[in-house]
Amino acid sequence: MPHKDTVSWNVLISSFLRNKRTRDVLGVFDSMVRDEFGCKPDDVTCLFLLQACADLGALEFGDKVRNYMEENGYGDAIKLCNSLISMYSRCGCLDQAYEVFNRMREKNVVTWSAMISGLAMNGHGRGALEAFRQMGQAGVPPDDQTFTGLLSACSHCGLLDEGMLFFETMTKQYGIKPNIHHYGCIADLMGRVGKLDQAYELIMSMKELKPDSALWRTLLGACRIHHNVTLGETVVGHLVELKAQEAGDYVLLLNIYSSVGDWEKVKDTRRFMKERGIQTSLGCSSIIVKGVVHEFLVDDVSHSRKEEIYTTMDEINKQLKIAGYVADITSELHNLDEEEKGHALSYHSEKLAMAFGILATPPGTTIRIAKNLRTCVDCHEFAKALSWVYNRVVVIRDRNRFHHFREGRCSCDDFW
């Protein structure tokens, strides 16, 4: 192995990150720490590593990088601390993000924005607004990304008036022109509180910016929440026009049809998807116990402890039923009768992961689950009930968002 210095390895790590080879990034770091390459990680290496940990939700590894930073004199570097705040937030550990934030003597616009986004992402919308106020008091001017975090906080909490006001003052007071993300937040905010037509008008009124597929999907999600068939179909039309329609969009449309009981259209859409070969991806949830990653798919029977898991699952169902939990079937796509629907939802991947968490960790341990898709309404209710009955904190991370369940409530209650 020819000698390569730290900079060369950093360049390699950076290309790994760009190409989503995130796990390889962790491997290179371990090798560097073990001095297998004749050079040590520097501040730039750590910065990349924290980004990788955030992408993977690899909390333990993130802690390791933080220890390394502190032992090697990078503990106070502002860029690294800002990245730490983001990493902890994106791992669902708001307490630790806040601890880093609090200890920083110098806070710049990135520091504040990271904290505001972290609060928003973890369901503390009001906290994000409060942080923004403090930021103003501290005399740090916000920028476009600060407002992205702030507006998303408003949409998470359904704070329509506040959100609209921020959207306005952003331009008038701070001279920041809204970008597509800002429009996304506002469309989401309007959509969630049920002002679907207003959200549609906002998107159609965009002049300089062209609505992208993500923006349309935001509105489609709102159509699902409010069971709006007509607008839902219009939005899918826009996605088709952009040639950006994906399997998930048709699933949302299916959900909208089934929520209003239009089984004919459910059938048509299913047929359409089959004819076009539109494949839906499987829900997959993972949980780490004693350093081992356990993955579950829907109705998964491949786990070595499957008998125990299903027995635990049945026991949990029994206990939750006693506590008053009733399966919510609005997410189910099939035209089944209520009892069958209740069964069809029983073994979503996150439920299996939760059952395994109950089974394999000591009482009181926080159950942390990562999911590749969004959690359905029923699993959300299930997790709430479970957090209450079993007295456990449950943290579920879906694609970009965290749900913190504690004592029968979720951090995103009412708006998710």
Partner DNA sequence: ATAGGGTTAG
Binding positions for DNA, 125-164, rule CB under 7 A: 142-146, 148-149, 152, 155-156
Nearer to DNA among residue 265 and residue 361 (C-beta) = 265
Spatial separation of the C-alpha atoms in residues 148 and 182, rounded to whole Å = 6
Residue whose entry in the numeric block shows the structure tokens 């992205």 = 148
How far is CA 326 from each of CA 62, 183, 356, 403, rounded to the nearest angstrom? 38, 37, 21, 20
Positive/negative CA dihedral, 184, 188, 190, 195: positive
Residues 6+ apart with CB under 8 A from 299: 347
Asked if 42 interacts with DNA (CB under 7 A), we say yes
Nearer to DNA, 14 or 366 (CB): 14
Instruction: Select from 72, 108, 330, 391 the one that contacts DNA (CB under 7 A).
Output: 108
Residue closer to DNA, measured from CB, 273 or 359: 273
Which of 238, 348, 397, 404 forms a contact with DNA (CB under 7 A)?
348
For the CB of residue 116, give the shortest distance to DNA in the complex, in Å: 8
Per-residue binding letters, 163-192, with DNA (x by CB under 7 A): ----------------xxx-xxx-xx----
Q: Which is nearer to DNA, 152 or 411 (CB)?
A: 152
Report the distance separating Cα 409 and Cα 416, nearest Å: 13
Residue ranges of alpha helices (H) inside 323-376 are 338-344, 349-360
> Residues 10-39 vs DNA: string with x where CB under 7 A?
xx--x-------------------------
- Which of the residues 365 through 384 are near DNA (CB under 7 A)? 373-376
Q: Which stretch binds DNA (CB under 7 A): 67-75, 256-264, 285-293, 396-404?
A: 396-404
**Residue 101: CB minimum distance to DNA, A:** 11
Of 403, 283, 289, 405, residue with least CA distance to 356: 289
Pattern of binders to DNA over 65-104, x per CB under 7 A? Answer: -------------xx--xx-xxx-xx--------------
As a whole number of Å, the CA-based R_g of the chain is 23
Of residues 189 and 386, the one with the C-beta less far from DNA? 189
Interaction of residue 109 with DNA, rule CB under 7 A: yes
Task: Name which position in 114, 231, 316, 395 contacts DNA (CB under 7 A).
Answer: 114
For position 221 contacting DNA by CB under 7 A, the verdict is yes
367-371 β-sheet, strand order: 292-297, 284-289, 367-371, 394-397, 402-406, 409-410
- Shortest Cβ 263–DNA spacing (Å): 17
Report the amino acid identity of residue 398.
Answer: D
In angstroms, the first-to-last Cα distance of the chain is 51
The string of DSSP codes covering 52-113 is: HHHHHT-HHHHHHHHHHHHHTT-TT-HHHHHHHHHHHHHTT-HHHHHHHHHH-SS--HHHHH
Contact 335, 59 (CB under 8 A): no
Within 234-253, the residues that bind DNA by CB under 7 A are 247-252
Which residue has tokens 């998470």?
156
Classify residue 395 by its DSSP letter.
E
- Give the number of residues in contact with DNA, rule: CB under 7 A: 79
Using the rule CB under 7 A, which residue among 69, 94, 121, 327 binds DNA? 121
Which positions from 264 through 323 interact with DNA, judged by CB under 7 A?
Answer: 280-283
Residue 157 vs 385, nearer CB to DNA: 157
Q: How far is the CB of 363 from DNA (least distance, A)?
A: 29
Quote the least distance from Cβ 360 to DNA, whole Å: 24
Contact with DNA (CB under 7 A) among 117, 285, 317, 387:
117
